Amino acid sequence: MSELGNVLIPVDDLDGAIAFYAGTLGLAVRFRDGDRFAALDGGGATVALVAAEERVAGEVTAPSYRVDDVARSARELTEAGAELLRGPETGPHEVRAVLRDPSGNAFVLYAPR
């Protein structure tokens, strides 16, 4: 049904975060969208650094799962006990929805546009 695509990490300073994660940890920058978002190679999953306007899951670090159909997956998960917090909505690069699992942890579903 899904695979871990990335982990969203909210940051206050994208340049500083890239310097830390790429320069200090050695993760390769795969993609950058201005001052909003940067995708770094986390070795099997993307480390996604998200500035304020891209914090779809709020101020928490959240796993993000790639699915075939965001609306269908969100519906199935809410029927299984998850809470839909936001979406589905179309973002700049994907369709996404934010949910909370039964223990209260936020996570994101997404599908490329």
Residue 23 belongs to domain with CATH number: 3.10.180.10
Q: What tokens does 31 get?
A: 């993609």
Q: Which residues pair with 101 in a beta bridge?
A: none
The pLDDT tens digits of the residues spanning 8-56 come to 999 999 999 999 899 888 899 999 999 999 999 988 889 999 998 878 7
Model pTM score: 0.76
SS3 for 21? helix
Q: Which domain holds residue 98?
A: 2-112
Number of structural domains found in the chain: 1
- The Cα 32–Cα 24 span in angstroms is 18
